[in-house]
Amino acid sequence: MNSLSGRLLVLTTVFVMLAEVLIFVPSIARFREAYLNNRLERAQIASLALLADDMIDSDLEAELLENAGVFNVVLRRNSSRQLALSSPMPQAIAETYDMRSASAFALIRVALSDLVRRENRVIRVIGAPVREAGLLIEITMETAPMRAEMIDYGLRILWLSAVISLVTAALLFVALRALLLKPIKRVVHHMRSYAAAPEDARRVIAPTASLIELREAEEALNALQTELTQALRQKNHLAGLGSAVSKISHDLRNILTSAQLFTDRIEASKDPVVRRMAPKLVGSITRAVHLCESTLAFGKAEEPAPSLTMVTLIEIIDDVIDSERLAIGDYDLSFSEDIPTRMTLRADPEQLYRVLANLLRNAREAIMTTGQPGEISVQAHEDDQAWWITVADSGPGLPAKARDKLFTPFEGGARKGGTGLGLVISAELIRGHGGTLRLLKSDAEGTTFEIQLPKGDGLT
């Protein structure tokens, strides 16, 4: 009975039987009550013969009592006269029952008591005569015949209950199998079919169930399978892109390595502008080489772990802002810094540079798309637990779609034609530091991102 079908059949049978048992108890009490009332009516009929003839012989009296199934009958028609039929009793009266005022609970209690008692007892039963033929009627009788008929009635009820239970369970099982089990098996079949080829959109389940709960389950499964199919397609795209980027990065690294060989000759130039820009060029080429090497490592599914060291934040910020100033040319865009001069933090300088460069580049591009003047500000502070860096701009804010999937590859891009990978990579790099990158706000007044880098070692 490990299947849902088998357990459903067993539980249905058990619960129907339980319901029949609950019906059996009051039924057996009602049978006992009817049995005693029947004996009272028979005794009343027998006593009427004595009204017709006061002088009936003992044989007729015994026959009347035997037909009534009692030993003695007392019919009180008024306060002064009693009519009685009597015969010898095998034993003394054990108990008296008054049927005129018995409650339902009392009838059930004494019925169960008589049913379990095996000894034959003599009881007195008092009731009201039918058709108002007197004040009361009283009889004495044995309990053994009554118990035998109660047992016979109970067995017939139990057998009938068993048949009804089996028939009801079978009908309910067939109905539930058609309404519930078959739809569930259909869902399981769809799940197995989808698992065999999750990239095949034809195998995504289409909700068709009529039951509300089952349809909700199918709709949830449909949404899950749709998202998973899209994710698998995106994974394949990323795998192909990673392979292509790895090849490009390999060749680009060789080209940039060759470019590094010319930096010494550039630094030897006497042109003051060239001498001033040479260190920036050297630094940019070095970072490009590192980026190519990291891309190659990423293509091998080995994003390099950050090489943590204590770095001066203002130096990294200045390098990023200098690069952005070259990119804006004559555009009316200003930069502001609020960085403690001696503030140092624990980070990988190259990875932190990539994150900050990505944030500032996004801010610069957002402002320049408006054609209006703007400002980008970088602030930093620290407390006992972490270092905090915020990058804010006065741009137009991110679109709602971009905010909802900001850190989802290929879906969080704010610019037309953008891939949305920049923030995804940046968030991954910061997570490698044990920190977080999150969007604080984005509205018509601008966008603010926050970087949190923890000071602890992560062991507590």
Residue-by-residue pLDDT tens, the chain, 460 positions: 566 666 777 777 777 777 777 777 888 888 888 888 888 888 877 776 665 555 566 677 677 777 778 888 887 766 655 666 777 888 888 888 888 877 888 888 888 888 888 888 888 888 887 766 667 888 888 888 888 988 888 888 888 877 877 787 778 778 777 777 788 888 888 888 888 877 667 778 888 877 787 788 888 888 888 888 777 777 766 666 666 665 565 556 555 655 655 665 666 666 776 667 667 676 676 666 666 655 555 555 444 678 899 999 999 999 999 888 888 878 899 999 999 999 999 999 999 999 999 899 999 988 998 889 999 999 999 999 999 999 999 999 888 777 777 877 655 555 544 445 678 888 888 988 889 999 999 998 899 999 999 998 654 4
Between the CA atoms of 59, 60, 65 and 67, what dihedral angle is there, to the nearest 10 degrees? Answer: 110
203, 193 in Cβ contact below 8 A?
yes
As given in the structure block, the two tokens for residue 189 are 């079949």
Let me know if residue 201 belongs to a domain.
no
Backbone angles phi, psi at 265, to 5 degrees: -70, -35
- CA–CA distance from 134 to each of 21, 128, 129, 385 (Å)? 39, 8, 6, 99
Choose one of 125, 146, 168: the last residue of a domain. 168
As given in the structure block, the two tokens for residue 315 are 């130096």
Choose one of 168, 190, 211: the last residue of a domain. 168
Let me know if residue 259 belongs to a domain.
no
Q: What is the CATH number of the domain that holds 441?
A: 3.30.565.10
Put residue 258 in one of left, alpha, beta given phi > 0 → left and psi -120 to 50 → alpha. Answer: alpha
Which residue, among 398, 389, 384, 408, has the nearest Cα to 441 in the 3D structure? 398
Which amino acid appears at position 80 of this protein? S
Let me know if residue 134 belongs to a domain.
yes
Residues 6+ apart with CB under 8 A from 369: 395, 396, 415
N-terminal to C-terminal alpha carbon distance within the chain: 49
| Sole residue written with tokens 């013969």 | 49
What is the domain extent for residue 59?
Answer: 4-168
301, 307 in Cβ contact below 8 A?
no
As given in the structure block, the two tokens for residue 37 are 């009332």
Let me know if residue 354 belongs to a domain.
yes
3-class state of residue 96 by DSSP: strand
Q: Quote the number of domains for the chain.
A: 2
Please spell the DSSP secondary structure of 102-135, one letter per residue: --HHHHHHHHHHHHH--S--EEEEEEPPGGG-SS
Residues 6+ apart with CB under 8 A from 231: none
67, 118 in Cβ contact below 8 A?
no
Let me know if residue 281 belongs to a domain.
no
Same domain, 163 and 310: no
3-class state of residue 2 by DSSP: coil
Q: How far apart are CA 377 and CA 398, in angstroms?
A: 17
Let me know if residue 196 belongs to a domain.
no
pLDDT single digits (tens) 404-439: 778 776 555 555 444 456 788 888 889 888 899 999
Q: Which residues pair with 28 in a beta bridge?
A: none
Let me know if residue 328 belongs to a domain.
yes
Choose one of 168, 188, 223: the last residue of a domain. 168
As given in the structure block, the two tokens for residue 441 are 């706000």
Residues 308, 246, 437, 460, CA torsion sign: negative
Q: Kindly tell me the burial class for residue 434, based on how many C-beta atoms sit within 10 Å of its own C-beta (0-12, 13-18, 19 or more).
A: middle
Put residue 70 in one of left, alpha, beta given phi > 0 → left and psi -120 to 50 → alpha. Answer: beta
As given in the structure block, the two tokens for residue 408 are 């989802």
pLDDT single digits (tens) 249-258: 555 655 565 5
**pTM of the predicted model as reported, rounded to 2 decimal places:** 0.43
DSSP 414: -
Q: How far apart are CA 360 and CA 376, in angstroms?
A: 8
Helices 4-52, 144-176: crossing angle, 10 deg rounding: 150
As given in the structure block, the two tokens for residue 199 are 């990239």
Let me know if residue 239 belongs to a domain.
no
